Structure 1
């Protein structure tokens, strides 16, 4: 059995999340009947939370060594959807066993039931609070279903009932293509949900919900809705004005806009509730204070605070998150104020500033997220730039001349890929703990390849999202040697 270790630890470029990661290590045996791998995702040689290797693992190996298959295995093993073909993929993929050790010390083991690398299999989960056993059997056309209650032996009448349903459907579906019949079987297998799937119930609780950027440049996830299916895209043809990725990008940009709108609304509501309390407090303080006998905060201190709030609101107004505070009229009045009225002025303006600060603090994470996305995308673009406004959403404009807005179809393939990847990364922050990426360097020039992983990590800072990336790019590897995992099999 091989040991895949991280080598040459590099210095992280950003501060990493303290949130728990998902996978500690995996052990894969008998892949294609010849490869055996142990992969450590937490970099045992460097266990500090600030190690980039704890959030990023780069799978590197020869062609045919199974990098893409490992990503597919992780995606299908950890995705909870009952309507997809996740467990069918595990049954059809040729391997002997897959053991996934999570950071909470739960151990997931997928093991084929006999020496045949393709066929019936059993998934077990063991841990402090987990004890799961679930078996799966093939029912034809490459489709697998869960059988038995709580992983018990499958009842013969259950399989017989399923086969009879398939036979009835076959009588009316003989004209369908093999792919259509396979999809039909997957849909038919849904009736078996009532029998239960203990492993899917476990995954629902874990909420890994992995996302997968495949080599077709689509991002897959159980909760990701695509603009149109691949068949529709093929029918439209290769015309760039109708490109599939262009429509995918347009949808992703709209989803980012809607998500940020929701976050901004939540933040403004929190700030508004804080404002109500502040003005009630103002009335209380004025009623209890004798201003004739007290001095107030020096006007200079009030001006400094006013300026700090104004600077922050100016930054937030760049993205339409809140209007900029025009501080000059306030400052002019404060500077001309008689000393004996300073205390009253303090009681009046302080609640106003507190109200502004309440909104700013509530919107702080949203502003940081938008700014990170815009800055990271613009780090790639040359003659174009990304702008964001809460009322208009994400827009790519020409940085020359009149800054005309460009549609996704007017961007290069590399620009579309970067925007799609980073947009979906933003969307994934609160939805997934694991992002799997297959050869992200495709369609990207050498300079962009060097920036890619740092951009991904920056856009997910604070989320605890874990990246597993299969790559052939020397540029990607060179900048992240501390995250490198070489696939070298041992017999």
Structure 2
């Protein structure tokens, strides 16, 4: 089930917008003047599917609707309990329509049982980016929002030490969210929340860390997990290799030339995996087999060997494709500043200078020493390739942030490669004509009411 269209009525009391998604090319671009609601619509869509309902209380609107490609739809309605549209007198209702237009409703009440919380409210002060500005009022620094206690619990329920759910949702709503994966990549993406093991008060409370550092550690762990899987697969196959060789039936259909070709392809695959940092270099891995040495017995042994090596190396297929694409895009863009990226199973991202004056001893650059534009690009590309589930809808707010014009001009082409490899749909908001280039066919313009 994929999201086909989103729409809003009465946004900020002014705007009605309809955004059909480009289902064929899988990239849709929203553009329009400041204040027309580009970011607001991304945040509302993300807020619904990730249960961050406070966004609907903080943004003025009348109806927000999502249509799916299977004929189903869902609406979030904001209704006033009185003639005065005072925030705390408004209520939210979620209406779901199935294929037969049968309606299911769920009133989205605010969380009112905060007196039953099983932890001290002071623990909220440990949430990164959250600053207390009143007895029960906080400011969320990354977005500048002012949040009440209920808003904070709405927003951060997933990381708070809650022993019981504060809001029970109907089964149809849970299923709707589980069937549609939505991820928002915000314009502020250089700081990241990561679990901190050093907090005695609440060890699982995240701390603020530069995102490039967090993702560098994460990709190292991903590589290590694949190496562990590779080791397990290798041990299993090596243990049974003699038995399978003995039991192997002759393969008359495989010629000596085909067998040599398979061996050469395996060595090429192994070399690529070494190049991107997934395997260590083995000086004894290269070998050539001459035609006169391949008899029928050798052919059977090599046939089993080829099949085993293909199975061993296949554990790296997905991560290798993603690393190769990330590395190629990054190195093409970072070459202007004489930097080259590689990967390491212990350090994660490795950056080296391509130009080093005699007076300088600097060779390796830490990811945190990259420019803000370089960090924005690296974080965005990494999230698209490694942080998003296949068949998800990714929301990107202002991808042009901190990117010079040359990078913006290449962005859509890079994005097309990524969406194809990672199986993603993208909805992004931008002000930049340099991002759009000649792809105005992918755009939806947000307009104001007719005067």
- TM-score by length of structure 1 reads 0.71
1:204-239 Cα offsets, whole Å, 9 max, x none, are 53252x3323333358xxxx73489xxxxxxxxxxx
* 1:361 aligns to 2:343 (yes or no): no
Shift of 1:433: 1.5
Contact 2:189 2:379 in 1 (8 A): no
1:42, CA displacement in angstroms? 2.8
Alignment partner of 2:35: what SS?
Answer: coil
Tell me the equivalent position of 1:70.
41
Q: Distance in 1 between matches of 2:70 and 2:193?
A: 30
Normalized per residue, the structure richer in helix is 1
Of 383, 399, 416, which aligns to 2:354?
399
1:28 and 1:99 in contact (8 A); partners too: yes
The reply on whether 1:452 has 2:411 as its aligned counterpart is yes
Between the two proteins, the alignment pairs up a number of residues equal to 401
**Residues 367-404 of structure 1: CA deviation (Å, up to 9, x unaligned):** 21110110011121021011113344211111123771
Q: Paired residue for 1:205?
A: 178
**Greater alpha carbon shift after TM alignment, 473-482 vs 28-37:** 473-482
Deviation of 1:108 (Å)? 1.1
Instruction: Decide whether aligned partners of structure 1 residues 227 and 409 sit closer, same or farther in structure 2, where only a CA change above 3 A counts.
Output: farther
Equivalent of residue 433 in structure 1, options 369, 392, 398: 392
Give 1:34 deviation, angstroms. 1.1
Matched ranges for 1:80-479 at <5 A: 80=51, 86-114=52-80, 116=85, 118=87, 119-128=90-99, 132-137=104-109, 144-145=110-111, 162=113, 176=135, 178-179=137-138, 182=147, 184-186=149-151, 193=165, 196-198=168-170, 201-208=174-181, 210-218=182-190, 225-226=193-194, 247-266=210-229, 269-270=232-233, 273=236, 279-285=242-248, 299-322=256-279, 326=284, 329-331=287-289, 334-337=290-293, 342-381=295-334, 382=336, 383-401=338-356, 404-430=363-389, 433-479=392-438
Distance 1:296 1:40 in 2: 53
Matched residue of 1:442: which SS?
A: coil
- 8 Å CA contact retained: 2:412, 2:436: no
The structure that has the greater radius of gyration is 1
Q: Relative to structure 1, is the Cα distance of residues 297 and 260 closer, same or farther in structure 2, using a 3 angstrom cutoff?
A: closer
Pick which of 118-127 and 296-305 moved more.
296-305
**1:328–1:38 distance in 2 versus 1, CA, 3 Å:** closer
Asked whether the 8 Å contact 1:310–1:324 carries over to 2, the reply is no
Following superposition, the deviation at residue 66 of structure 1 comes to: 1.0
- Residues 201 and 355 of structure 1: CA distance in aligned 2, closer, same or farther (over 3 Å): same
| Closer, same or farther: CA 479–372 of 1 in aligned 2, 3 Å | farther
Quickly say closer, same or farther: Cα 1:399–1:282, change in 2 above 3 A: same
Which blocks of at least 5 consecutive residues in structure 2 are unaligned? 122-131, 140-145, 197-206
- With CA pairs under 8 Å and 6+ residues apart, which has the higher RCO, 1 or 2? 1
Distance 1:315 1:475 in 2: 34
Change (3 A) 1:328 1:393: closer
* 1:463 positional shift: 3.1
Q: TM-score, normalised by structure 2?
A: 0.77
